[in-house]
Amino acid sequence: MWQYIVKRLLLMIPTLIGAALVIFLLMNIIPGDVALLIIGGDQGGDINPRELAKLRTQLGLDRPLYEQFLTWLWSVVRLDFGKSLWTGAPILEEIMIRLPLTLEIAIFATIISTIIAIPLGTLAAVRQDTWVDYVVRVISIGGLAIPAFWTGILIILFLVIYFEWGPPLEYASIFQDPWENFKQLVWPIVTVGYRNAAVAARMTRSTVLETMREDYIRTAWAKGLQERVVVVKHALKNAFLPVITIIGTEIAFLIGGLVVTETVFTLNGLGRFMVDAIAHRDIPVVQTLVLFIAFSFVFVNLIVDLLYAWFDPRISYR
Amino acid sequence: MAIATPRPYPVVVGHDSALYRIWVAIWKFVRTKPLGAAGAAIVIAMAFAAIFADFLAPYDAYELNQRLQFKAPTLTHWLGTDEFGRDVLTRLIYGARIALFIGLASSFIGATGGAILGVISAYLGGKTDLWLQRVMDILLAFPLLILALAIVTVLGRSLPNLILAIAIPVIPRTARIVRSSALSAKENVYVEAARAVGSTHIRVMFHHIVPNIMAPYLIVLTAQLGGAILTEASLSFLGLGTAEPTPSWGLMLSGGAPMYAEKAPWLAIFPGLVISLAVFGFNLFGDSLRDALDPKLRHRS
Comparing A236 with A264, which gets the higher pLDDT?
A264
Tell me the average pLDDT of chain A: 81
ipTM exceeding the 0.85 mark: no
B89-142 tens-digit pLDDT: 888 888 888 899 999 999 999 999 999 999 999 888 889 888 998 888 888 888
Of B139, B155, B276, the CB nearest to A146: B276
3-state SS of chain A is: CHHHHHHHHHHHHHHHHHHHHHHHHHHHCCCCCHHHHHHCHHHCCCCCHHHHHHHHHHHCCCCCHHHHHHHHHHHHHCCCCCECCCCCCEHHHHHHHHHHHHHHHHHHHHHHHHHHHHHHHHHHHHCCCCHHHHHHHHHHHHHHHCCHHHHHHHHHHHHHHHHCCCCCCCCCCCCCCHHHHHHHHHHHHHHHHHHHHHHHHHHHHHHHHHHHCCHHHHHHHHCCCCHHHHHHHHHHHHHHHHHHHHHHHHHHHHHHHHHHHHHHCCCCCHHHHHHHHHHCCCHHHHHHHHHHHHHHHHHHHHHHHHHHHHHCCCCCCC
Judged by a CB distance cut-off of 8 A, whether residue B90 touches chain A is no
CATH code, B92: 1.10.3720.10
A76-122 tens-digit pLDDT: 888 888 888 778 888 888 889 888 888 889 889 988 888 888 888 88
Ranges in chain B, pLDDT < 70? 1-16, 255-259, 261, 294-301
pLDDT of amino acid B5: 54
A20-40 tens-digit pLDDT: 888 888 887 766 566 766 666
With respect to residue B45, please indicate whether it lies within any of the assigned structural domains. Answer: no
Chain B residue with Cα closest to A300 = B141
3 state DSSP class of B87: strand
Subunit contact B262:A157, Cβ cutoff 8 A: yes
Judged by a CB distance cut-off of 8 A, whether residue B257 touches chain A is yes
With respect to residue B8, please indicate whether it lies within any of the assigned structural domains. Answer: no
pLDDT of amino acid B103: 92
With respect to residue B16, please indicate whether it lies within any of the assigned structural domains. Answer: no
With respect to residue B227, please indicate whether it lies within any of the assigned structural domains. Answer: yes
Subunit contact B276:A160, Cβ cutoff 8 A: no
Total domain count for chain B?
Answer: 1
With respect to residue B42, please indicate whether it lies within any of the assigned structural domains. Answer: no
pTM for the complete prediction?
0.84
With respect to residue B52, please indicate whether it lies within any of the assigned structural domains. Answer: no
pLDDT of amino acid B1: 44
Q: Compute the distance between CA of residue A298 and CA of residue A292 in angstroms, rounded to an integer.
A: 10
pLDDT of amino acid B104: 93
Subunit contact A27:B301, Cβ cutoff 8 A: no
Q: Compute the distance between CA of residue B248 and CA of residue B163 in angstroms, rounded to an integer.
A: 14
Comparing A62 with A202, which gets the higher pLDDT?
A202
- Using alpha carbons, select from B83, B117, B110 the residue that is nearest to residue B213: B117
Judged by a CB distance cut-off of 8 A, whether residue B240 touches chain A is yes
pLDDT of amino acid B203: 87
- Using alpha carbons, select from B205, B226, B228 the residue that is nearest to residue B115: B205
User: Which percentage of chain A shows pLDDT scores above 70?
Assistant: 89
Q: Compute the distance between CA of residue B94 and CA of residue A177 in angstroms, rounded to an integer.
A: 48
**Domain of B146, in residue numbers:** 75-298
Subunit contact B155:A263, Cβ cutoff 8 A: no
With respect to residue B36, please indicate whether it lies within any of the assigned structural domains. Answer: no
Comparing B60 with A137, which gets the higher pLDDT?
A137
Judged by a CB distance cut-off of 8 A, whether residue B297 touches chain A is no
pLDDT of amino acid B110: 94
Of A26, A256, A278, the CB nearest to B144: A256
Of A29, A153, A160, the CB nearest to B154: A29
Of A154, A251, A278, the CB nearest to B240: A278
Judged by a CB distance cut-off of 8 A, whether residue B277 touches chain A is yes
With respect to residue B214, please indicate whether it lies within any of the assigned structural domains. Answer: yes
Q: Distance from B254 to chain A by nearest Cα, in Å?
A: 9
